[in-house]
Structure 1
Amino acid sequence: MTGAVLAVDQGTSGTKALVICPERGVIGTGFAAVRPRHLPGGLVEVDPGELYGSVVDAGRRALAEAGEPVTALGLANQGETVLAWDPGTGRPLTDALVWQDRRAQGVCDELAPHAEELRQLTGLPLDPYFAAPKMAWIRRHLTREGVVTTTDAWLVHRLTGAFVTDAATAGRTQLLDLDRAQWSPRALDLFGLSGERLPEVVDAAHPVGTTTAFGPEIPLTGLVVDQQAALLAQRVTAAGAAKCTYGTGAFLLAHTGDTPRRGDSGLVSCVAWRLGGRTSYCLDGQVYTAASAVRWLTDLGVLSDASDLDAVGGTVPDSGGVSFVPSLAGLAAPWWRGDVRGSLTGLGLDTTAGHLVRALCEGLAAQVAELADAAAADLGTPLRTLRVDGGLTRSALLMQTQADLLQRPVEVSALPDATALGAGALARLGAGAATTLEQALPDGKPSAVYEPRVTADEAAERRARFRAEVAALLERTPA
């Protein structure tokens, strides 16, 4: 079997679908927007029907453009977004609570005495970002009916009738025993979810079932969470390298081999993927707002759209003393303070749009540099390079700022849709169209490499200023 595959990346703000041919590369693309609702108090929710509709629409568009049949389907999902649904009919019983949603903070506060036990058991800190607190909140406040799962299990059920999730997505719930890659009865008990019917945990490359949602019958053979799909596509398959995806948020993952690393840096230890029954692990650090912070500047009229970053930022040589901590949805790793809001300081009558853009790029790059340092500390060795992908990597200003603050080369992926390409590689592997992971992966040559242009001393000074701004924010927002 050597034919093309359909790869679908169901993300926060839209679904991207690619038809990927092993010889000719991407031969069809489709996109369908998703519009989450951002409500007061840090609530973010989306209509599940819109998620499923976007998967079908994007997939059909990609197939129509390709104009040829596919042999398998791979699906990547947004991870920690959850809903309750009827397993008999597939009908949603609630809206989907998006990964950014903070309403389950009260659940986390109650479980604070068990935070360290849960971190040791699952690799994850106690935070409403993850699925289990939101699942518990749904059970307490919305419905006791049906099942409550991450969105991938619902989408797969709608597509094929199967009730499964892959090990990497299961690892984002805070209900998975990290060492055994199986559901943890203790974690379920702590969250008040004992007795819940949970999906079967399966390999990332594995025949799950077939779907006719896109027209012809297609076997679903690849299943994975979004950031791990991008890690795979970036060929970070062994310890020592890391990738960062700049999407709605920014997500840095570093491979740790076949054992989980539970360090003290504030990063998350989680499953990278499970293939052939063998589990690989990674460290994961998050910046909650990246492209969503750029969108915020756009909504304020500072930019007309994200493609303006370089043009507007290029009107000034630096940030003019403006500092921006873009924690507009809270601070994630390594601080884990979702209650902290962003700050914009150093403003003057001479502050221009260019200064704001420069300050945003500096704030994003500084947060990612903090994550890279934390990963290096947990691994016990510096990261040699950072491989990057996602829409914001088109900004030369942001990527150069990243290389400067990191003091390491930044390799920009030539693959703009790394998450979908990772899902496609798993689909090929699961369908038997590739015999090894290496054979299934796309070519890994970067489209650009940014080298640091400032001295280590200047980088250290700029990062120290950023840390001081974060410290001031934390002081103003007692835990």
Structure 2
Amino acid sequence: MTGGPVLAVDQGTSGTKALVLCPERGVIGSGTAPVRPRYLPGGLVEVDPRELYDSVVSAGLAALAEADTPVVAVGLANQGETVLAWDPATGLPLTDALVWQDRRAASVCAELDSQSERLRQLTGLPLDPYFAAPKMAWIRRHATGAGVVTTSDAWLVHRLTGAFVTDAATAGRTGLLDLDTLAWSRTALDLYGLGGERLPRVVDCDTPVGTTTAFGPPLPLTGLLVDQQAALLTQSADQPSAAKCTYGTGAFLLAQTGPEPRRTSSGLVSCVAWRLRGRVSHCLDGQVYTVASAVRWLTDLGVIAGAEELDPVGGGVPDAGGVTFVPALAGLAAPWWRGDVRGSLTGLGLDTTPGHLVRALCEGIAAQVVELSSAVAADRGAPLTSLRADGGLTRSALLMQTQADLLQLPVEVSSLPDATALGVGAVARLGHDPRLTLREAVPEWKPSVVYEPRISGAEAAERLARFRREVSALVERADAGVGGGLQGTTAGPGAEAGVAPGAAIGPDTTGAGTG
């Protein structure tokens, strides 16, 4: 890498991480700031937008103070599907931000069910409250018709620079972008009832969009990229065929597919990976909604004291003791797309210990990632040879070994923490210096540890079959309208009328809170 240091800011679900990246010395400064989303009854998740902006500034200033050296540019990564309404004249938010995990727009999706396949072919995205467009439509129907309604990045960029833009990859997470033309789709906008909306200009990820003084001296903002695609850039720039999974608040498996969009038949999302210097790269994307958030759930119940206890507690028993955990605490994402399904714990006995619950959770997370990996292999027409991993929960050797065991492939944990910040830092570097190549801008990738499978293929298949049986049973129960399980995932009757804010939830300390 060449050029001066850049400030890379990753604005995530439960916190913001900022790094000062030097081309010669690597990370020379870092800063963090917590974000506290409110988890409310009925699957509602919201956050004060001011907290998002304040966390960006605080983390950035802390990183710059530690580095104690000038930077030449700034890059900003965002959560992707988190949305809010705001006043473009004053920059003030008009609503809370609906976080990507929020399920209140299920009613919007239900009304559009007959158009789901049309929307999927047009935008590459399934019809699900996870994405931005249903949340935007919900805000317009039930919160406010004033101002503009956008993903959080457009508001943050406006606050930082005054520009009204979004990058092509983030725009692709809305369900409003035409996958072939990468322009806002009039058809999709009309279907969602958003036809008259003023939307941000879609720019390349390495486009200089303006200057910010939020961090002190004027600095150009030259890189914008949605968080998971930023991590994919870090993990696969050297090997476009590689697949990566980020284990944060959720788990997100992405794999590049090349310059042309690829509609999928497996339930994965087909979307823009990035557009750099006018050239588009596409990817497949699969999600597990609750990973670190499921660890937090066990912590809140008192089963463990925190993520740091996964290995010592889970390591105290040889297996899950017959317990199966489907941690669908916010519904099932890809490849099922069943937000109405609730999580389940089965096989409990008087001899069940916290260790068994921890192991069952690790298996439940890993089994869902196996399903995503199988879908990627089917859609790309070639099996994976390994899985590259990053995110805070890769610190759990138990989870990573369980992943390798069930996947029956090596799991290569990145030696570079904070892959999202590193990816958007590389994009900012490209936007600042047009002479740089992609490979010059992205740090060299290498694993810190490789987990090889320790169980037989037959045993892995048996464990996966048990998990799949439980998922099938949960889907059948949801189809039959039978309640039960661990936690509701869709907004109840009172949701559209508004829910009083609950107690703030503390930050997820297990790693990157990305969405």
* TM-score, normalization by structure 1: 0.99
- Supply the AA of the counterpart residue of 1:250: A
Aligned to 1:205, the other structure's residue is in SS state coil
Residue in structure 2 matched with residue 146 of structure 1 by the alignment: 147
Within 2, Cα distance between the matches of 1:307 and 1:229? Answer: 26
Is contact 2:236–2:244 with CA below 8 Å preserved after alignment? no
**What are the residue-to-residue correspondences of 1:417-432 with 2, within 5 Å?**
417-432=418-433
Matches within 5 A, 1:395-434: 395-432=396-433
Q: CA RMSD in A?
A: 1.0
Contact 2:238 2:439 in 1 (8 A): no
Amino acid at match of 2:365: L
Q: Shift of the alpha carbon at 1:437?
A: 0.6
CA distance in 2, matches of 1:119, 1:166: 20
Are the counterparts in 2 of residues 237 and 255 from structure 1 also a CA contact under 8 Å? no
Between the aligned partners of 1:175 and 1:236, the Cα distance in structure 2 is 27
Runs of 4+ aligned structure 1 residues displaced above 6 Å come to none
Measured in 2, the distance between the counterparts of 1:254 and 1:205 equals 20
Q: How many residues align?
A: 479
Q: Which residue of 2 aligns with 1:358?
A: 359
Q: Which amino acid aligns with 1:131?
A: A
Alignment of 1:24-173 (within 5 A): 24-173=25-174
2-side partners of 1:24 and 1:82: how far apart? 36
CA distance in 2, matches of 1:238, 1:449: 17
Instruction: Report the residue type matching 1:363 in the other structure.
Output: G
Contact 2:237 2:442 (C-alpha < 8 Å) held by counterparts: no
CA drift at 1:304: 1.0
TM-superposed CA distance for 1:239, in Å, is: 4.8
CA distance in 2, matches of 1:454, 1:255: 29
Distance 1:196 1:244 in 2: 34
Listed as ranges, the matches of 1:72-471 within 5 Å are 72-236=73-237, 239-432=240-433, 435-471=436-472
Say if 2:237 and 2:438, in contact at 8 Å, map to a contact too.
no
Residue 479 of structure 2 aligns to a residue whose secondary structure is: coil
Secondary structure of the residue aligned to 2:264 is: coil
Residue identity matched to 1:359: A
Residues in 2 aligned to 1:411 and 1:318: alpha-carbon distance in whole angstroms: 23
How many angstroms apart in 1 are the aligned matches of 2:334 and 2:237? 21
Partner secondary structure for residue 208 of structure 2:
strand
SS at match of 1:339: coil
AA aligned to 1:273 is: W
CA distance in 1, matches of 2:277, 2:82: 27
Per the TM alignment, residue 385 of structure 1 is displaced from its structure 2 partner at its CA by 1.2
The offset of 1:240, in angstroms, is: 2.7
Task: Please identify, of 230-239 and 137-146, the stretch whose mean Cα deviation from structure 2 is larger.
Answer: 230-239
Give the conservation status (yes or no) of the 8 Å contact 2:430–2:436.
Answer: yes
Equivalent-residue separation in structure 2 for 1:47 and 1:246 (angstroms): 25
Residues 57 and 215, structure 2, Cα contact 8 Å, conserved in 1: yes
- Structure with the bigger RCO (C-alpha within 8 Å, sep 6+) is 2
Shift of 1:54: 0.3
| 1:22 Cα deviation after fit | 0.7
> 1:237 offset after TM fit, Å?
6.3
Question: C-alpha displacement at 1:466, in angstroms?
Answer: 0.5
Q: Distance in 1 between matches of 2:267 and 2:52?
A: 31
Contact 1:249 1:289 in 2 (8 A): yes
1:279 Cα deviation after fit: 1.0
In 2, Cα distance between equivalents of 1:442 and 1:392: 22
How big is the shift at 1:433?
A: 6.9
- So what's the TM-score if we normalise by structure 2? 0.92
Distance 1:133 1:442 in 2: 36
Q: Distance in 2 between matches of 1:30 and 1:435?
A: 27
SS at match of 1:252: strand
How far does residue 141 in structure 1 lie from its aligned partner after superposition?
0.7
